[in-house]
A = this chain, B = another copy of it.
């Protein structure tokens, strides 16, 4: 096992009848901004639940945070917050709203310089307004970590940042609120959580059997419960199991003491930035390519993955690994998530564009747990996915 530090102070309130508790969790003197997206929280009852729970308190609303939240939208919220002296941010919705809120909280407190540099240049976050969230969609895990991903519409770029200041003070996880989700969003959530686990698990072995087994526990649960929630988002039990799996997938527990990768995400982000493809779908496109191109290098862990997640115990090493990759692709496709460029009408030229974008940003080393994903590998991976 590698040395590690672990710290996660997010308070989780999970299940039914949790919204009534939020009033006491937000200090009385706080000026609250409620941030949300296109208004689904008005349809699923969450908006009313929040307003009831916070009855009598001043709340400024900021509506209209889009999926793949835009820097430009965030900066509009920053202006209002400064003018209205808001000092507590409450996000309600899915990962995009929460990510935007994390960036807004950090941007408000930045004393000098351009907030965009937090994303594009890794400028250090100096603090954050306290923030919390009501989660209505299982997917990104942002409700239980310190990370966020933000896009810039004008330049079609997508970047992430991470800061211990950005941990939510609390997160209320409401499986019931996900009952009215479109199947497409449930499918995205399952695949997003699945690939989050993979990025921290399917790396080189470091003798960390507990971390491996916890990662496998999440993967197996997603394989079993994901399709049930996809078939019927109102299946409370399945949605609850999916929602907690998605949080556990990216709260730092399975990353403690092991290498991580994230090359699938880094490449996938470009497909979202260039073609507006849902984040999870870009991961489903890129992942099989990474595995096929780096099959030899990832052989040991792919074998373990095949055996423990898909019960593949027969055949040559090659056959077993091929089967594990096929099983994964079939799983994604069974949720209606296609895995090739052609499925999304992405032209082959996109490969050149992505490689050029990486070069332009000053690409230095390879991506991934052992920096094996060099620019030529990126090209091969994407060519494999045409």
Using a CB–CB distance below 8 Å, which chain A residues touch chain B? Answer: 1-18, 207-210, 213-214, 216-218, 220-221, 224-225, 237, 240-241, 244-245, 248, 253, 256-257
Contact = CB atoms under 8 A, between A and B. Distances in A.
Q: What's the number of copies of this chain in the assembled complex?
A: 2
Contacts of A1: 14-15, 237, 240-241, 244
| Residue of A6, A210, A224, A257 with most partner-chain B CB within 10 A | A210
16 contacts: A1-B14, A1-B15, A1-B244, A3-B16, A3-B17, A4-B14, A4-B15, A5-B12, A5-B14, A7-B10, A15-B257, A207-B241, A210-B244, A210-B248, A217-B217, A253-B253
A201 B256 CA distance: 23
B6 A12 contact: yes
B225 A220 contact: no
A7 B245 CA distance: 17
A97 to B, nearest CB: 22
Contacts of A220: 209, 213
Contacts of A18: 3
A61 to B, nearest CB: 27
Given A214-B214, A221-B213, A14 B240 contact: no
Contacts of A13: 5
A237 to B, nearest CB: 5
A229 to B, nearest CB: 13
Given A3-B15, A207-B237, A217-B217, 15 more contacts: A1-B15, A2-B15, A4-B15, A5-B14, A7-B9, A7-B12, A14-B257, A15-B257, A210-B217, A210-B245, A213-B213, A213-B220, A213-B221, A216-B217, A244-B256
Contacts of A5: 11-14
A209 B217 CA distance: 8
Contacts of A4: 12, 14-15
A13 B2 CA distance: 11
Contacts of A14: 1, 3-6, 256-257
B6 A11 contact: yes
A209 B18 CA distance: 22
List the 10 closest A-B pairs by CB distance, nearest first.
A3-B15, A213-B217, A9-B9, A6-B12, A7-B11, A210-B221, A1-B240, A207-B237, A209-B221, A214-B217
Nearest to A221: B210
Most buried by B among A6, A13, A208: A6
